[in-house]
Amino acid sequence: MLVAPLAPPRSVVGRKGYWARLLPVLAVLACVTRVPSFVRPLWNPDEGFLAVQARMLARGGQLYETVVDRKPPLLPWLYEAVFTVFGSGSLTPVRVLAVLAQLATAVLLASLARRRWGDRAGRTAGALYLLVSVGLNPEDAQAATFEVFILPCTAAAMWCADRRRWGAAGVAVACAFLTKQTGGAVLLPVACLFHRYGGSRAGLLRLAAGAALPVLGAALVTDPAGFAFWTVTGSGAYASFTGSELHVLARALTNSAILATACAGLLPPVVRALRIARTGAGDLWLWLAASAVAVTLGFHFFGHYFLQLTPPAALLATAALQILPRERASAAVLGSCCACALFLAWGLLAPRPELAHAQRLALTLDRRTAPGDRVLVWGIHPETYWLADRTPATRYLTAGLLTNFSGGRDGPQVGEKYAVEGTWPVFREELAESPPALVIDDSRGKPYGPDHVPSLHRLLAARYEQVGEVDGAVLYAPVAGE
C-alpha cells in the first residue's frame, strides 16, 4: 500500500509561495532600474580605477605594493576575478554582478521587513529600495563601484543580527568594511540589536571574531603594513576640507536634494508617522544615523556616498507605512515609481562629456604607442589607461595620490607637499627605471598641473617635448636621444 508523503507545514508552504511570487518581481525591477548602467562602457573614474587595478593585478601586480589605492581589497579582487573569467575588455559582467548585488539587498530588506511587520511590508520594502536606489546622478547610482557592493553586506549584517546569528553578522560587517571602510558603520546598529536581545558573552565573542578575522586575513594575504597604511592611516590630508568649505557644502546640499527628490514618496509618511506614533525602529534609525556619519567621513560628499542611506531609509518608510492607511503605501510606491522613471531617463539620455574626452585620449594613445609601451596620464581619469589597453608607467593611477587633488576639492591643499607620504620618491624611481613612451598632461588648468608641481615640471622640461594637444590635454614624447 502506498503511503502519501506528509505535507509540509502550512507556514513552510506559505513561505515558499511568498518568495516564489516576490522574487521574480524584485528581479525584474532590479534589472529595469539598472538598464542605464549597460549603455556606456564606463560611468565614472572609480570604475576606471578598478578596471586598471584589476588588469595590473591579473598581470602579476601586488596590492598595496605595485598596485595601490586608498580602498580595501575586496572589490579589486572581484574585478580581477571577473576579468580572469570573462576578459578585461568590458565591464558588462561586473554590471551583471551589480544587478545581483542590488537584488540581494532588496531581498534581505524584504525579509527583514516581513519578519517585523508582515507580508505586505516585505513586498513594500523590497520594491521601495530598488526604486530609490537609482535616485542620484547616474554616474553615482549606475556605476558598479564600492557602495553598490557594500549594500548587500550591510543588509546581510542586519538580517543576521535580527536572527541573533552573531558570527555571521560579524562576517557581514567585515565584508562591508573590506569593500569600503565606511561599510563598517553597520556595526553600530548590529551592536544595538545585540544589546536589545541580551546577547551572551559567547555571542559577543562570535560577533567580534566574525568582524575581525576576515580583516586580519585580508591584511596578511596582502601586506599588513601596506594594508594599514592605504586603508586607514595614509589619508589624513585627503580627509581635510580646509579652504574648500563652500565647495564641499554645495556638493553636500546638491546631492542631498537629489536623493530627497528620489525619496519624495517616502518622506511624507515617515514624517507623519513620527508625529502620530512610535514605529519601534530604533535600530533602523541608528543604521540611518551611522550611514549618515559614513557619508560625512572625508568631507567629500560625492553622490555615490549617499547610496548607503537608501536601505535604512526604505525600511523606515516601510515601518511608517504600517501605521498609516493602506492607500498611503500605494501612494508612496507610485511616487517612487515616478521619481525612478525620471532618474532612469536621466541615465539613458544625459551626455557624458568626460567619457568622450577619455575615449579621444585613449584613441590618441593607441595611435602613438605600441601595446607593450608604458604611458603616463597625468590626471584624475584613470579610465584612459583601460580604454587604450596601455600599461601605466606608475603604480599611482591618478595625480590625486601625488598632489592630494580630487574632484571634491576646489584648489587649496593641493601640491607635492600634500601627497600621500612616500609617493614622490617611488614615482621618480619608477619613471627613471622605465620612462613612459608618452605623457599626457590632462590637468587642463587644474591646480595639479605641471606648472604647479615642480618635480614633474623639471622632468618634462629635461626629457620630453610637446608633440600635440587633444581637447586641452597636452601630449609629451621623449626628446630624441633620451
Cβ pair 405, 446 in contact under 8 A: yes
Tell me the pLDDT tens digit for each residue of 155-177: 999 999 999 999 999 999 999 99
- Report the phi/psi class of residue 382: left, alpha or beta, with left for phi > 0 and alpha for psi in -120 to 50: alpha
Q: How far apart are CA 340 and CA 261, in angstroms?
A: 10
Mean pLDDT, the chain, integer: 90
**What is the CA angle 166-168-172, rounded to 5?**
115
What torsion, rounded to 10 degrees, do the Cα atoms 182, 184, 190, 195 define? Answer: -110
Whether pLDDT at 285 is above 70 = yes
Indicate whether 310 pLDDT > 80.
yes
Other CB atoms within a 10 A radius of the CB of residue 263 amount to 24
Residues 91 and 355: their CA atoms lie apart, in Å, by 14
* Mean pLDDT of the 355-369 span: 94
The per-residue pLDDT for 410 is: 60
Buried residues in 389-399 as b, exposed as e (16+ CB within 10 A) = ebbbbbbbbbb
Joined grid coordinates for residue 211 = 568582524
* Averaged pLDDT, 2-19: 56
Beta-ladder partners of 470 = 473
In the prediction, which pLDDT does 280 show?
Answer: 65
Residue 366 sits at φ, ψ, to 5 deg, of -65, -35
Q: Residue 100: pLDDT above 90?
A: yes
What pLDDT score was predicted for residue 292?
95
pLDDT of residue 277: 56
Q: What is the pLDDT of residue 243?
A: 56
Predicted local confidence at residue 237, as pLDDT? 60
* Torsional sign, CA 300, 225, 54, 169: negative
Which residue, 107, 191, 178, 141, is CA-closest to 309?
A: 141
pLDDT for position 279: 57
Query: Distance between CA atoms of 337 and 89, rounded to whole angstroms?
Result: 34
Cell numbers standing for residue 359:
575615449
Whether 297 has a pLDDT exceeding 80, the answer reads yes
Phi, psi (5° rounding) for residue 474? -100, 135
The C-alpha angle 142, 144, 150, rounded to 5 degrees, equals 105
Backbone angles phi, psi at 88, to 5 degrees: -105, 10
Q: What is the pLDDT of residue 391?
A: 94
pLDDT of 7 > 60? The answer is no
pLDDT value, residue 407: 62
Q: Using CA atoms, how far apart are residues 473 and 170, in angstroms rounded to an integer? A: 47
* Residue 322 pLDDT: 83
pLDDT at 470 over 90: yes
Q: Note whether 307 and 147 are within 8 A (CB).
A: yes
pLDDT for 8 equals 45
Tell me: the pLDDT tens digits for 27-65?
999 999 999 999 999 999 999 999 999 999 999 999 999
- The grid coordinates of residue 184 equal 563598517
Give percent of the chain with pLDDT exceeding 70.
92
Amino acid identity, position 267: L
List the 438-441 sheet strands across, edge first. Answer: 391-392, 374-378, 438-441, 473-478, 464-470
3-class SS shares of the chain: helix, strand, coil, % to 5 = 65, 5, 30
Confidence class of residue 411 from pLDDT cuts 50, 70 and 90?
A: low
Over residues 114-152, the pLDDT tens digits come to 999 999 999 999 999 999 999 999 999 999 999 999 999
pLDDT at residue number 21: 95
What's the gap between Cα 350 and its chain centre?
A: 21
Q: Is the pLDDT of residue 358 over 80?
A: yes
Question: Residue 4 — very low, low, confident or very high, per pLDDT cuts 50/70/90?
Answer: very low
pLDDT tens, residue by residue, 377-390 = 999 999 999 999 99
- Proportion of the chain above pLDDT 90, given as a percent: 76
Q: Give the closest residue to 263 by CA, choosing from 322, 191, 200, 320.
A: 320
Q: List C-alpha distances in Å: 29 to 10, 127, 314.
A: 29, 8, 15
* CA neighbours closer than 13 Å in the CB half-sphere of residue 59: 15
pLDDT at 417 over 70: yes
Q: Cell 609629451 identifies what position?
A: 476
Please give the helix or strand (H or E) that residue 392 lies within, else none: strand 391-392
Q: What is the pLDDT of residue 82?
A: 96
pLDDT at residue 241, rounded to an integer: 60
Distance (Å, rounded) from C-alpha 156 to C-alpha 122? 15
Segment 212-256, tens digit of pLDDT: 999 999 999 999 999 999 998 876 666 666 656 777 888 889 999
Between 360 and 352, name the one with better pLDDT.
360
